[in-house]
């Protein structure tokens, strides 16, 4: 991590410009995280707004002194917001699932090779995992966060994060192997 950014983090409670700089630095990352977890940029933008507004009002409760801790804090807020959203909008989640699936049908008809996985296919496979596994995959492989930070964000132990990720990846691999060669009947429903 960058020591200059650590210095900004240490001032973030009292320095508006420091907070603004961190907003600029993290806006894209949080938007990407929310959008990829929810398969919708507009919902992702809404939640990104919630995350940063919460961060702004709760900044005095932030205890960290480094960028790593700030990043972890922000991702924790985002993860909680995403989970709240998914719990509150089960129906919407089903619609998103269905949207992914309909795009997947087109995709499956044109790509029968693992080298050509498309996003709807990946997303559909991820959606079939447990919600916690979905979060882990997104944080690790789409946000490049280290295991210990993911552990702190999700409240899991770092060793368990590693094992659960490995299990989730095995499940994905199985799904891709099945799905990529002629699309299964289930996938077309």
Partner 1 sequence: MTNPDPNQDLIDMIAKATPDTPINQDHRDRLRQQVLDAYDNRADADAPAARNPLFTFTGATLMKFAASIALLSVIAFFAVTALTPSKAIAFEDVARAVLAIDNASYVTQTVIYEEGQEPVTQDSYKVYLQFPQRFRVDLKMDQMDVVMIADVPADKMLMLNAQEKEAFLIDGLSSITDEEKPTNLIAEIQDHFRKAQQDKALGKVKYEQLGEKAINGQLAIGYRVIDPADTDFDTMDIWADAKTALPIQIVYTSTIDERNKVVNILDSFMYDQTFDASLFSLTAPQGYKLIKASDLIDGLDRTKEQLDQAINEFIGVEAPLLEDLALAMALYAGQTGKLPEQLISGPMIDTMVEAWEKANPGKPIFKDDDIEMADEQLNAAFESVLTAYEFLENLKQQGIEYTYAGSGIEIGDKDTPVFWYKPKGADTFKVIYADMTIREAASAPQKP
Residues that bind partner 1 (CB under 8 A): 10, 13-14, 16, 19-20, 23-24, 27-28, 31-32, 35-36, 41, 44-45, 48-49, 52-53, 55-61, 63-66, 69, 76, 80, 84, 114-115, 117-119, 121-122, 130, 132, 137, 141-142, 147-148, 152, 155-160, 162-164, 166, 169, 172-173, 176
- Per 3-state DSSP, the chain is made up of helix, strand and coil in percentages (nearest 5) of 80, 0, 20
Which is closer to partner 1, CB of 23 or CB of 93? 23
Q: Judged by CB, which is closer to partner 1: 180, or 185?
A: 180
The DSSP line for 139-151 is IIIIS---HHHHH
Q: How far is the CB of 185 from partner 1 (least distance, A)?
A: 23
C-beta of 98: minimal distance to partner 1 in Å? Answer: 19
Q: Which residue from 85, 135, 142 is spatially nearest to 119, judged by alpha carbons?
A: 142
Of 14 and 98, nearer to partner 1 (C-beta) is 14
Which two structure tokens, joined as six digits, stand for 28? 């894209």
Alpha-carbon gap, residue 93 to 10, rounded angstroms: 38
Q: Which of 76/89 has CB closer to partner 1?
A: 76
In the complex, least distance from residue 15 CB atom to partner 1, rounded to whole angstroms: 10
Please measure the distance between the N-terminal and C-terminal CA atoms of the chain and give it in whole angstroms: 46
Cβ-based nearer residue to partner 1, 21 or 97: 21
Comparing CA positions, the residue from 15, 21, 127, 26 lying closest to residue 77 is 26
Q: Cβ of residue 114: shortest distance to partner 1, in angstroms?
A: 6
Taking phi over 0 as left and psi of -120 to 50 as alpha, with beta for the rest, 27 belongs to alpha
């Amino acid at each position: 991590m960058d020591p200059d950014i650590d210095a900004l983090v240490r001032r973030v409670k009292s320095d508006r410009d420091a907070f603004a700089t961190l907003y600029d630095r993290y806006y894209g990352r949080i938007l990407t995280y929310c959008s990829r977890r929810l398969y919708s940029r507009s919902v992702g933008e809404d939640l990104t707004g919630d995350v940063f507004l919460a961060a702004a009002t709760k900044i005095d409760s932030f205890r960290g002194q480094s960028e790593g801790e700030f990043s972890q804090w922000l991702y924790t807020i985002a993860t909680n917001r995403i989970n709240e959203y998914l719990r509150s909008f089960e129906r919407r989640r089903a619609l998103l699932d269905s949207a992914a699936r309909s795009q997947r049908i087109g995709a499956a008809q044109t790509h029968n090779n693992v080298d050509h996985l498309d996003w709807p296919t990946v997303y559909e496979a991820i959606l079939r995992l447990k919600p916690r596994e979905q979060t882990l995959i997104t944080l690790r492989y789409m946000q490049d966060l280290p295991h210990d930070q993911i552990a702190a964000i999700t409240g899991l132990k770092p060793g368990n994060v590693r094992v659960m990720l490995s299990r989730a990846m095995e499940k994905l691999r199985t799904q891709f192997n099945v799905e990529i060669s002629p699309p299964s009947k289930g996938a077309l429903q």
